[in-house]
């Protein structure tokens, strides 16, 4: 484990040498002062129907995650089939925002766009985790079944009960992610929190932005009090009706998307074998690869590898904040609050703050991604550390951390980090404000130019890259014997 960790650190350091991490700003303080002042004086009256905004954010998250979890569960039953696994890796490789932008082309601004933008990637993620959970479940119950028990009964009575707790815990964790996704979907026009947050933030109305963020933090922090299994039925009944209205869906737009929009432009309306068409297409492919895909892949990988190690380091620093091995009840509740704030603040806001501080380079992106993901993993391993049982005469302070807790959580920590690897890569997509030409930057450009053929090509490239990382992380986890998902998901 140490060797692998060391290798990743060395790779990240190598990337850091190539990466541009210059600090250039001169006087960031006037803008930062305005932000700080805004956050010190939140204005809850600025967003008239802030309650409704929150309700809609929860409703989108609920519908999206519920549909994604059900879909993921179905897919997980066929996860041993190669193509199903690839499809899952493909659909989860694409950021929710890009799914939303794709569906905007087909459906327009309707609730369906938002729900599917969450449900589809989440189905891919849930399928993977459910399948791995089931794979590693305790099989003793299945083995003692009466011979001839049918498959459905065997599954419901022998397999599912052994993993039910893990699946439940994981799904509720996904719901928190879903809330963040739902909020972020507002950035592209759905009526969730992000819609108002983006406006307030980009117009410099920081008091209003602060009010929205505070409400969001409270929503996330209080999740465990209102997201209860027995209430799910009730929520499912009402959530679909709280999504708000939208425009009419037109079939012609959907057909056009598939038959025209995503066809590479040199091939549109041409016979593939007509003279000149294939060379044109080859030229298009070469342009896509050399001008966008390859530079995009390089920037994406460099940023991902550095941010991955940054995430790991920050997670190891932050988890004691919520661990009962290090802090008392009072300290932990403050720590809990700190982690909620860090992990719930959208990365683009973090990136903007650091951009003001350090100027445009990879540095703001690295720090924003590391903080956000570090707080998520810190939260997960912090909770894991709470289950550890210590000897009565255990060491304290730094010795406890370094010689007792760290070794016992390290495998767990690496497993989470490898899971997060592909997520970090996906998130490098949305940092265009920093001028870092990741794959996501080029996808965003193509979408803003309504060049859906280019966007689709790059999305496929991103997905392939993601599948590659997925395979690699599976291999590494396998080699390190970290693939004990059931253990990992125990909370």
Partner 1 sequence: MKKITIFISALAIFIGIASMAPKAAVAETFVFTAIPDQDESKLIERFGKVAAYLAKELGVETKYIPVKSYAAAVTAFRNNQVQLAWFGGLSGVRARSLVEGSKAIAQGAEDPAFETYIIAHSSTGLNASDSFPMGIKGKTFTFGSKGSTSGRLMPEYYIRNELGGSPDNVFSKVGFSGNHSKTIALVQSGAYQVGAVNFQVWIDELKDGKIDESKVSVIWKTPPYPDYQWSIRGDVDKTFGAGFTERVTKALLSMSDPDLLASFPRSSFIPASNADYQPILDVAKQIKLID
Neighbours of 58 (CB within 10 A): 24
- The answer to whether 347 and 433 are in contact (CB under 8 A) is no
Q: Is 328 in the site for partner 1 (CB under 8 A)?
A: no
484 sits in the region (left: phi over 0; alpha: psi -120 to 50; else beta) called: beta
Question: Cα–Cα distance between 194 and 187 in angstroms, integer?
Answer: 5
Work out whether 483 is an interface residue with partner 1 (CB under 8 A): no
Q: What is the 3-state secondary structure (H, E, C) of 8-72?
A: HHHHHHHHHHHCCCCCCCCCCHHHHHHHHHHHHCCCCCCCCCHHHHHHHHHHHHHHHHHHHHHHH
| Candidate residues 317, 334, 450, 472; the one interacting with partner 1 per rule CB under 8 A | 450
**Would you say 385 and 325 are in contact if contact means Cβ atoms under 8 Å apart?**
yes
Query: Is residue 37 involved in binding partner 1 (CB under 8 A)?
Result: no
Does position 150 interact with partner 1 (CB under 8 A)? The reply is no
**133 within 8 A of 174, measured Cβ to Cβ:** no
In the complex, least distance from residue 158 CB atom to partner 1, rounded to whole angstroms: 15
Tokens 């039910």 label which residue? 164
Comparison of 162 and 265: residue with beta carbon closer to partner 1: 265
- In the list 26, 146, 151, 398, the residue contacting partner 1 (rule: CB under 8 A) is 26
Contacts with partner 1 in 339-398 (CB under 8 A)? 355-356, 359-361
| By the rule CB under 8 A, 43 interacts with partner 1 | no
264 binds partner 1 (CB under 8 A): no
- Name the residue nearer to partner 1 (CB basis): 26 or 151: 26
User: What is the nearest approach in angstroms of partner 1 to the Cβ of residue 470?
Assistant: 28
> What Rg, from alpha-carbon coordinates, does the chain have?
23
- How many angstroms separate the CA atoms of 141 and 161, rounded? 9
Q: What DSSP string runs through 91-121?
A: HHTS-HHHHHHHHHHHH-SSHHHHHHHHHHH
Per rule CB under 8 A, is residue 282 in the interface with partner 1? no
**Shortest distance (Å) from residue 227 CB to partner 1:** 13
The count of residues interacting with partner 1 (CB under 8 A) is 66
In the region spanning residues 198 to 257, those forming contacts with partner 1, defined by CB under 8 A, are: 198-199, 202-204, 229-230, 232-233, 235-237, 239-241, 243, 246-250, 253
User: Minimum Å distance from CB 256 to partner 1?
Assistant: 9
Instruction: State the Cα torsion 267-270-276-281 to the nearest 10°.
Output: 0
Interface with partner 1 includes 193 (CB under 8 A)? no
Q: Which residues bind partner 1 (CB under 8 A)?
A: 20, 24-28, 30-31, 63, 66-67, 70, 101, 104-105, 108-112, 115, 156, 186-189, 195, 198-199, 202-204, 229-230, 232-233, 235-237, 239-241, 243, 246-250, 253, 265, 355-356, 359-361, 432-435, 444-445, 447-451
């Amino acid at each position: 484990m140490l060797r692998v960790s060391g290798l990743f650190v060395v790779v990240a350091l190598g990337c850091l040498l190539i990466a541009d991490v210059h600090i250039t700003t001169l006087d960031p303080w006037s803008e930062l002062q305005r932000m700080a002042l805004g956050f010190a004086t939140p204005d809850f009256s600025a967003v008239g129907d802030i309650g409704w905004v929150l309700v809609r954010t929860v409703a989108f998250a609920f519908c999206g995650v519920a549909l994604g979890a059900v879909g993921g569960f179905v897919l997980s039953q066929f996860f041993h089939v190669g193509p199903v696994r690839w499809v899952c890796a493909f659909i989860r490789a694409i950021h929710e925002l890009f799914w939303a932008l794709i569906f905007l082309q087909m459906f327009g601004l309707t609730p369906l766009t938002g729900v599917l933008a969450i449900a589809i990637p989440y189905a891919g993620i849930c399928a993977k985790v459910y399948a791995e959970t089931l794979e590693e479940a305790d099989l003793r119950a299945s083995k003692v079944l009466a011979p001839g028990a049918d498959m459905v009964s065997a599954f419901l009575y022998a397999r599912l009960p052994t993993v039910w707790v893990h699946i439940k815990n994981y799904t509720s964790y996904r719901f928190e992610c879903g809330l963040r996704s739902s909020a972020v979907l507002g950035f592209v026009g759905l009526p969730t929190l992000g819609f108002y947050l983006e406006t307030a933030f980009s117009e410099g109305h920081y008091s209003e932005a602060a009010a929205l963020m505070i409400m969001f933090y409270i929503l996330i922090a209080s999740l465990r009090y209102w997201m209860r299994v027995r209430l799910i039925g009730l929520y499912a009944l009402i959530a679909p009706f709280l999504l708000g209205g939208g425009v009419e869906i037109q079939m012609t737009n959907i057909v056009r998307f598939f038959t025209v929009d995503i066809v590479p432009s040199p091939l549109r309306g041409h016979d593939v074998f007509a003279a000149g068409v294939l060379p044109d297409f080859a030229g298009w492919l070469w342009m896509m690869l050399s001008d966008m895909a390859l530079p995009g892949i390089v920037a994406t990988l460099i940023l991902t590898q550095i941010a991955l190690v940054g995430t790991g380091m920050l997670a190891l620093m932050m988890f004691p904040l919520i661990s009962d091995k290090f802090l008392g009840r009072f300290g932990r509740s403050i720590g809990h609050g700190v982690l909620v704030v860090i992990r719930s603040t959208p990365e683009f806001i973090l990136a903007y703050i650091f951009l003001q501080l350090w100027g445009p380079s990879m540095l703001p992106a690295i720090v924003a991604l590391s903080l956000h993901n570090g707080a998520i993993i810190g939260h997960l391993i912090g909770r894991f550390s709470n289950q550890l049982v210590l000897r009565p005469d255990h060491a304290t302070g730094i010795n406890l951390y370094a010689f007792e807790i760290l070794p016992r959580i390290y495998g767990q920590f690496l497993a989470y980090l490898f899971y997060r690897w592909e997520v970090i890569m996906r998130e490098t997509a949305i940092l265009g404000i920093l001028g870092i030409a990741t794959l996501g930057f080029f996808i965003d450009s193509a979408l803003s130019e309504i060049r859906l053929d280019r966007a689709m090509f790059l999305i496929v490239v991103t997905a392939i890259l993601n599948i590659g990382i997925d395979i690699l992380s599976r291999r590494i986890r396998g080699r390190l014997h970290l693939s004990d998902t059931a253990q990992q998901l125990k909370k």
